[in-house]
Amino acid sequence: MARNIAVAGKGGTGKTTFAALLIRYLLEKGKKSILAVDADPNANLNEALGIPVSNFVADILEEAKDSKGVPPGMTKDMFIEYKLAQALVETERLDLLVMGRPQGPGCYCYPNDILRKHLETLSRNYQYVVIDSEAGLEHISRRIIQGVEFLFVLSDATIRGIRSAGRVRQLVEELQLPIPHMLLVVTRVQGSLNGLVPEIERTGLPLAGTISFDPLVVEYDALGRPLFDLPSSSLAVRETQRILEGLAL
Ligand SMILES: Nc1ncnc2c1ncn2[C@@H]1O[C@H](COP(=O)(O)OP(=O)(O)OP(=O)(O)O)[C@@H](O)[C@H]1O
Ligand SMILES: [Mg+2]
């Protein structure tokens, strides 16, 4: 069974950067089979990883709402399964599945059921599944992604970011999602966190660590260079590593 690690938080807090550097850390530790799932509607994990993607799960589910296009001799279930299998991007270092933009109105219970089963079966092939999610935890809250062991809730060093992280924790509690380890990571930190400490305590989330503002991350993003290629000396790489080394991953 794969170990599921999810990253969530308010928009623009550094989720994708952290998810990419987390994957890099796992690979550097010699973990060989990793599935990255971009479950953020504003998908860009593939860019951070430097992997081109052309098939999005959301589009497959949208098409699956009607039976058009199902080839003769194939059931609708088989057809959806086949399409979902095509959405998986396989590379030498890791595989990637991109959920894509949010679904429109209409009933998705049936395709979501198939997606849930598909992910369950697919994840058996991996040691780790790393999920780049959004604050609403769409796929996790609808139990399409199940069994998350670690949830990193990211925030920038602002009161709003930290409050939003607190709401992610509340959501997990309200939905009674069984996530054993929920941890706060504050990113893009410049200076001290002192003023934020009471707000951090209010979230009830243990602080796993902080990641400093790293000009190299900005530079790589500006140039569209994969964060995978950041030098090992980069602040963000080293501090992500320090956070993860303290955990039983
Ligand atoms: N440690 C860091 N130092 C400096 N800039 C950073 C750092 N981490 C992330 N950034 C910058 O902050 C911006 C947002 O980062 P990122 O895309 O990782 O966040 P996100 O939470 O995934 O955003 P979105 O919600 O848009 O998907 C990017 O421009 C990125 O370059
Ligand atoms: Mg992102």
- Has residue 58 got a pLDDT over 90? no
> Radius of gyration of the chain from Cα atoms?
18
Could you tell me the two tokens for 86?
Answer: 């095509």
How much distance in Å is there from the Cα of 126 to the middle of ligand 2? 23
Q: What is the pLDDT of residue 139?
A: 85
Answer whether 42 contacts ligand 1 (Cβ < 6 A).
yes
> What is the domain-level CATH number for residue 109?
3.40.50.300
Q: pLDDT tens for residues 144-167?
A: 888 999 999 999 999 999 999 999
Q: What is the pLDDT of residue 109?
A: 67
- Closest ligand 1 atom number to CA of residue 19: 18
- Has residue 67 got a pLDDT over 80? no
φ/ψ region of 166 (left if φ > 0, alpha if ψ in -120 to 50, else beta) reads alpha
Strands, E assignment, 99-172:
128-132, 148-156
Structural domain of residue 161, as residue ranges? 3-245
Q: What is the pLDDT of residue 81?
A: 87
Strand duo 207-212 + 128-132: pairing? unpaired
Question: 216: pLDDT confidence band, cut at 50, 70 and 90?
Answer: very high
Minimum mean pLDDT range among 16-20, 40-44, 207-211: 40-44
Q: What is the pLDDT of residue 143?
A: 86
Query: Distances in Å between the alpha carbon of 23 and those of 102, 199, 244?
Result: 25, 29, 11
Total structural domains within the chain: 1
User: Once rounded to an integer, what is the mean pLDDT over residues 174-195?
Assistant: 94
Answer whether 169 contacts ligand 1 (Cβ < 6 A).
no
* Neighbour-count burial of 104, counting CB atoms closer than 10 A to its CB (0-12 exposed, 13-18 middle, 19+ buried): exposed
